[in-house]
Chain A
Amino acid sequence: MSKIVLHLYIAGQTPRAERAISTLRRMIEQELAGHECELTIIDVLADPQQAENQKILATPTLIKSSPPPYRRVIGDLSSVTDLLNVLNLPPQS
């Protein structure tokens, strides 16, 4: 079973960023327990070059690079259920 790799790009500690982070945490703890999961949070204000490399347009942006399919989601990720749907998670083994 492959590792779930997530990157969240935020622009400072905004209410939107906090909402996105808490939704993600909730999803990982409640719905993806038992899966190996790696979440990296990148603040584009601190590391704009990283945003340039990944061509990030909006914030927050969540990128799921593994397992396939690759997904890019923008927004404050309002609900865990919708997020799981969009990300095709948990992976079907």
Chain B
Amino acid sequence: MCADQIERLPTGITGFDHIANGGLPKGRTTLVSGTAGSAKTVFAAQFLAAGIKRGEPGVFVTFEETPEALRRNMLGFGWDIARWEAEGKWAFVDVSPQPEEELVELGSYDLGALLARIEHAVRSIGAIRLSMDSLGAIFTRLNDSRVVRNELLRIVSTLRRLGVTAVLTAERTQEYGEIARYGVEEFVSDDVVILRNLLEDEKRRRTVEILKFRGTSHQKGSFPFTVIPGEGIHVIPLSAIELKQRSSSVRTTSGNAELDRMCGGGFFRDSIVLVSGATGTGKTLMATTFMAAGVRQNERSLLFAFEESRDQLFRNAIGWGIDFEQMERDGLLRVICNYPEVTSLEDQLIFMKAEIDRFRPQRVAVDSLSALERVATIKGFREFVIGLTSFIKHQEMAGLYTATTPTLLGGSSITEAHISTITDSIILLRYVELFGEMRRGLTVLKMRGSSHDKDIREFTIDSRGMHIGRPFRNISGILSGQFTHIAPSEIDRLSAMFRDDEGDEPARDTAPTN
């Protein structure tokens, strides 16, 4: 994909190789720097674990945690270090502080012993990879930082001579500022990766950034990642997602014939429809209808529900004449209910992707995105929606998201504002106050790549679902919530002035697409 002269060693860390344009520069030492709790040790261990799965043995030089603690802690990620040690695939060089040891310095010294041990370990298992975690610990144990720096430089050049690709972790005191403490970057400055653990709006957000790969390319900027049990670090390469999804012109039904007509013949497959409206306007009904329509055509349909319980959803569906239970038994429907609060959005995205991969649906609905927005920062939420959208579109699926507006009348949701440009079509559901009565209105605001009905149509909901009726003729300001009634005579007069002679032509798409 790129004409790099520098060979890469794929790390095997999900998503990381994508942002690293293939992996870490082979045969070199990469500095991985981060504050406390930024998952440096996990990165270092995963680099080796992923290597072992590719048949590349690795040496772990630990300055901080004991091998016992590492074997125990890393087991949760599914890395059986003890077994790999027995199989000669993993070797520790244990430089962790010994409790009984009180180091007394008397005269000058070097780290020749450490170098000899590392070289011995590399040779004895034929290591391809090496991790050193973490450098700060050794600086705090030895008084002469200058000696330590010189000796680490000697170790790094020895690793280069041995042809080992290495990860060296180091501490930072703050998320933005100098690369690492103790001037470590002075001797391993070619390749630097930064791990961050940021606190934004009281929410933790982990990101990884490749600061530099000397003489070779990588993706710029920081990318969110998460640490998940059974896997380890999982990078979500959002901005690296190519916007090259096929967009198909194949139409698929929304489950409502009138709505299909308003959309110019149905939703597009490989497209995402956003349904926005206040609570009770019929968003869940649209999602339910959309799912049921899929099942009726023998399409597998997957519903992620974040607002209502399973029981509630199934009861609602029955109320509209849709039997979710039977559909699930037939294996065509899967409903996953989840409280958004139980996990971070990054984890949620990975979970949803995994469910989509497992069920392989042709239709996916998310009810509602607004519920997910509560648990994230604006940036994190946007990244989540982009990640999910591009994933769905890559799979040749039709997607439907719902978003809740905060006010009952008019208004737009925050969700809408952040993701309206990402979705292909937008349908608004609104309450309309009409002569002392609350009615419901629907309009197709945007339909990318197609003409659509521009009217605001009244609809009703009964035991058979949604019924779309006539346009509201004598009322304006529905979308803003500032209603103005226009006398029927005025409408007649206006109609007369603009004779409806364009009726047969397809209306031009005037939807805002920015």
Contacts and interface: CB of A to CB of B under 8 A. Distances in A.
A82 B109 contact: no
B142 to A, nearest CB: 7
B506 interface: no
Interface string A31-67: 0000000000000110011011001111111000000
B98 interface: yes
Interface in B94-149: 94-95, 98, 100-117, 119-121, 138, 141-142
Contacts of A70: 100
A75 B119 CA distance: 22
A20 B106 CA distance: 10
B106 A86 contact: yes
Contacts of A82: 106
B104 A74 contact: yes
A10 to B, nearest CB: 8
Given A48-B120, A72-B101, A16 B113 contact: no
A57 B106 contact: no
Interface in B57-116: 93-95, 98, 100-116
A52 B98 CA distance: 13
A73 to B, nearest CB: 5
A55 B102 contact: no
A69 to B, nearest CB: 9
B172 to A, nearest CB: 24
Interface residues of B, number: 28
Contact of A44 (B95, B98, B116, B141): B116
A58 B142 CA distance: 9
A12 B105 contact: no
A19 interface: yes
A25 to B, nearest CB: 15
Contact of B109 (A49, A58, A83): A58
A86 B102 CA distance: 11
Contacts of B102: 71-72
Determine which residue in B93, B100, B113, B121 has the highest number of CB atoms from chain A within 10 A of its CB, and name it: B113
A55 B95 contact: yes
Contacts of B95: 55, 57
Contacts of A19: 107
B112 A44 contact: yes
Contact of A74 (B98, B109, B119): B109
B106 A59 contact: no
Nearest to B121: A52
Contacts of A56: 113-114, 117
Chain A: interface size category: 20 to 34
Interface string A1-44: 00000000111101010011000000000000000000000001
A51 B113 contact: yes
Nearest to A52: B117
B104 A44 contact: no
A45 B123 CA distance: 13
Given A52-B120, A86-B104, A76 B113 contact: no
Contact of B112 (A14, A49, A72): A14
Contact of A11 (B93, B107, B110, B138): B110
A86 B101 CA distance: 14
Nearest to A19: B107
B107 A77 contact: yes
A11 B120 CA distance: 13
Given A55-B94, A55-B98, A72-B101, A16 B114 contact: no
B108 A16 contact: yes
Given A48-B120, A55-B95, A60 B103 contact: no
Nearest to A16: B108
B167 to A, nearest CB: 20
B104 A51 contact: no
A76 B93 contact: no
A90 to B, nearest CB: 17
Contacts of B109: 16, 58-61, 74-76
A74 B151 CA distance: 15
Nearest to B113: A56
A76 B120 contact: no
B104 A11 contact: no
A70 B104 CA distance: 12
B100 A58 contact: no
A74 to B, nearest CB: 5
Nearest to B114: A57
Contact of B117 (A14, A44, A71): A44
A24 B313 CA distance: 82
A20 B112 CA distance: 15
B151 to A, nearest CB: 8
Given A55-B94, A75-B107, A11 B117 contact: no
A75 B116 contact: no
5 contacts: A11-B115, A19-B107, A44-B113, A52-B121, A75-B109
Interface of B: 93-95, 98, 100-117, 119-121, 138, 141-142
Given A49-B120, A59-B112, A86-B106, 16 more contacts: A12-B112, A44-B116, A48-B116, A51-B117, A52-B121, A55-B98, A56-B114, A57-B95, A57-B111, A58-B142, A59-B113, A73-B103, A74-B103, A74-B104, A75-B106, A76-B108
Interface of A: 9-12, 14, 16, 19-20, 44-45, 48-49, 51-52, 55-61, 70-78, 82-83, 86
The 5 tightest CB contacts between A and B, nearest first, are: A11-B112, A75-B107, A48-B120, A76-B107, A56-B113
